[in-house]
Amino acid sequence: MAEFKLPDLGENIESGEVISVLVAVGDSLREDQPVIELETDKAVIEVPSSVHGTVLEILVAKGDQANVGQVLLVVDGEGASVAGPAEPVAQPAAAAEPEPAPLEISALSSIAVSLPELGEGVDAGDVVSILVSPGDSVEAEQGLVEFEIDKGVVEMPSPSAGIIKQIHVQHGDHATVGQLIVTLEAVVAEPTPVTAPQPAPATSPAPAPA
């Protein structure tokens, strides 16, 4: 709580008579708001408040003699402002969820992997290492079989990701370019078919009046 005392009224003025009380208990008081009117020897003056808050008690009445420094009223706290109604907090708009992309239909496709060109003038090679087994999952460009040719050992990569279905060569076999080496079962994504819009039924023209 805070007490509001009668301030200095001017040179050689130590008191005055209360001729009007301008606030009531329960009022919201702001700084510089007139509180009482005093009649002094020189004039009638309004005494402004130096505090703000809610008026809890008024200690003077009309006709009282008030002295400088005397407590005139009590408020709920010096510097305590009266809070206005709380402004509603704007809620952020819910973000629109992106529409799911059309699903793709996956289909299994068998890919016959044949021995590719091994280099200029090289049309065959010996199987020196089989790097995968039936049932293995492989990535695109992953090595499947190693062949030894005149110039060294080369690795045959997988053309696609998938699962090894069958291996058609064995270690030590002599394989020629174009020969079937591995059968790969790959997952191929097919685009979702789009239904074409149906044309509107044609309307027969109205018969012309006779």
pLDDT in tens, 134-180: 999 999 899 999 999 888 888 989 888 889 999 999 999 999 989 99
105-190 is a CATH 3.30.1490.20 domain:
no
| Residue predicted with more confidence, 54 or 197 | 54
* Domain edges within the chain: 2-75, 105-190
Whether the domain at 2-75 and the domain at 105-190 fall into the same CATH topology: yes
Average pLDDT, whole number, for the chain?
Answer: 79
| Residue predicted with more confidence, 198 or 14 | 14
pTM exceeding the 0.85 threshold for the entire prediction: no
User: What's the average model confidence in pLDDT over 117-143?
Assistant: 89
pLDDT range class, residue 102, cuts 50, 70, 90: low
| Residue predicted with more confidence, 91 or 154 | 154
The fold for domain 2-75 equals OB fold (Dihydrolipoamide Acetyltransferase, E2P) (2.40.50)
pLDDT at 160: 86
pLDDT at 109: 77
Identify residue 114 by its one-letter amino acid code: S
